[in-house]
Structure 1
Amino acid sequence: MKTIAIIPARGGSKRLPGKNILPLGGLPLLAHSILYAKANSDIVDEVYVSTDDNQIKEVALTYGAKVIDRPASISGDLELTISSLQHVLKTIDSDVENVVLLQPTNPLRPVNLLTQCFQKYIEDNLGSLFTVSQNHHKLGKINNGTFVPFNYEIGQRSQDLEPLFFENGLLYISKSKLILEGKIISENAVPYIVNHLFANVDIDTKEDFEYAEYLLNKNKK
């Protein structure tokens, strides 16, 4: 049973140029996900970075990942992640059973998270698993200038809200055959709840990056 990690890291970020190689805690952003995968070598047999960018490719190789050159045709702003995963699987032409997707924009993960998730994935014979976190906000919509509550009633206490969860992006585990069929998360995928500050980090802007830096430094202390 072969398990690989795939880290999609294209160039050309508009809101935060060069974000995948910006230094976070002294390491390029991308390196955090590579090193996390390599630290779980008892689970992950090989680590692949899919990229269309030469600088990202150089960083990936420096930190011990294998690189799959992503074609321009699947490197656009609107291209779905599934395209890069399928391209990696078809390119390596190897007998891969499981894929761990690590997004470089979620660089901070609890140390034992992959071990815990993979154990459940194997023991329960799952097709896919992904991490979620609880949302404690009072949410609503604005219709014609009026706020309409979605998950609560006006005056209701926050602690009495019905639990809602969001896909935090920390990690995904899927059967390779599911990905080749066009899905990362199946209809019956199991959500793995993660209540950790790291789950709030998803880097897209300068402010996101600064928050990740703050959490990283705080965690070191």
Structure 2
Amino acid sequence: MKNLCIIPARGGSKRIPRKNVKPFMGKPIIAYSIEAALQSGLFDEVMVSTDDEEIAEIAKKFGAKVPFMRSKETSNDFAGTDDVLLEVLEEYKKIGKEFDILCCLYSTAPFVSSKRLIEAFGKLNTTIDFVFTCVAYSYPIQRGLHIVNGKISMLWPEYVNARSQDLETSYHDAGQFYFARVASYLEEKTLWGKNTVGLILSELEVQDLDTITDWKLAEMKYNLLHP
């Protein structure tokens, strides 16, 4: 069985310029993803898919491979993750390399660890084709509110008197990494196929990185996790 880790890292990030190589706690943020993937020992190849020469050089410095550069078609603002992954698999196939398992590991995931990667990989079995990270909402979504014509009301009024501890826990995608059996992925063209399970992370391990405030919060969390 051959396993491939793909780390997408486009050069044209908008909200935080050069986000994929911006220093985080002393080193480029992409380094954390590369190092965790290599340290896991799970992968026959850890590669970075990028259209940017600087990102490619930094990726190689930290041990990843950049066997080819990303195309213009998958480097624009409208290309999705699936477009990138399918292109990578096709380019490898052209040079005679095919894989059984792929892991899409985002480049801005400083909390990722080899331990979590190994844990997620272990969930793949004869009935499970996909695994991705998720985290619980910090407050029950059943008590959610919306504002219509300036007036606030509950989305689900039937829960107005429900105790929060009695409501079902809900989760959302943590946006850290995804495992997939390549055959199933090529058939379903999604990282969230029919036979998918989640790896639940704690709130300390998860942080969106869309603003500078997000970045500072992530550094605070990192310091809590690594005193």
> TM-score when scaled to structure 2?
0.88
- Find the partner of 2:145 among 117, 128, 140: 140
Q: Following the alignment from structure 1 to structure 2, what is the Cα–Cα distance between the partners of residues 175 and 61?
A: 26
State the partner residue of 1:126: 128
SS at 1:169 equivalent: strand
| Aligned partners of 1:105 and 1:204 also within 8 Å | no
1:180 aligned to 2:186?
yes
SS at 2:183 equivalent: helix
Amino acid aligned to 2:183 = K
Deviation at 1:44, TM superposition (A): 1.4
Amino acid aligned to 2:138 = H
Deviation at 1:155, TM superposition (A): 4.8
Amino acid aligned to 1:179 = Y
SS at 2:171 equivalent: strand
Q: Residues 216, 189 of structure 1: CA spacing in aligned structure 2 closer, same or farther, 3 A cutoff?
A: same
State the partner residue of 2:198: 191
More deviation in 47-56 or 137-146? Answer: 137-146
Deviation at 1:59, TM superposition (A): 0.7
Deviation at 1:196, TM superposition (A): 4.2
1:20 aligned to 2:30?
no
Q: Following the alignment from structure 2 to structure 1, what is the Cα–Cα distance between the partners of residues 170 and 151?
A: 23
| Identity score, percent | 35
Deviation at 1:148, TM superposition (A): 3.5
SS at 2:123 equivalent: helix
Structure 1 stretches of 5 or more lacking a match? none
Spell out, residue by residue over 1:49-96, the C-alpha distance to the aligned partner (whole angstroms, 9 max, x if none): 001111111111111111131111111122110011111111112120
Aligned length: 218
Aligned-residue Cα RMSD (Å) equals: 1.8
Amino acid aligned to 2:100 = E
| Aligned partners of 1:130 and 1:192 also within 8 Å | yes
SS at 2:194 equivalent: coil
Q: Following the alignment from structure 1 to structure 2, what is the Cα–Cα distance between the partners of residues 151 and 167?
A: 22
State the partner residue of 1:167: 173
Amino acid aligned to 1:59 = I
SS at 1:73 equivalent: coil
State the partner residue of 1:95: 98
Q: Following the alignment from structure 1 to structure 2, what is the Cα–Cα distance between the partners of residues 48 and 92?
A: 11
Q: Following the alignment from structure 2 to structure 1, what is the Cα–Cα distance between the partners of residues 150 and 160?
A: 17
Deviation at 1:125, TM superposition (A): 4.1
Q: Following the alignment from structure 2 to structure 1, what is the Cα–Cα distance between the partners of residues 127 and 4?
A: 17
SS at 1:33 equivalent: helix
State the partner residue of 2:79: 79
SS at 1:197 equivalent: helix
Q: Following the alignment from structure 2 to structure 1, what is the Cα–Cα distance between the partners of residues 226 and 8?
A: 27
Spell out, residue by residue over 1:85-138, the C-alpha distance to the aligned partner (whole angstroms, 9 max, x if none): 11111111212000011111222125521111111213x542111111111324
| Aligned partners of 2:2 and 2:101 also within 8 Å | yes
Amino acid aligned to 1:168 = A
Structure 2 stretches of 5 or more lacking a match? none
1:7 aligned to 2:10?
no
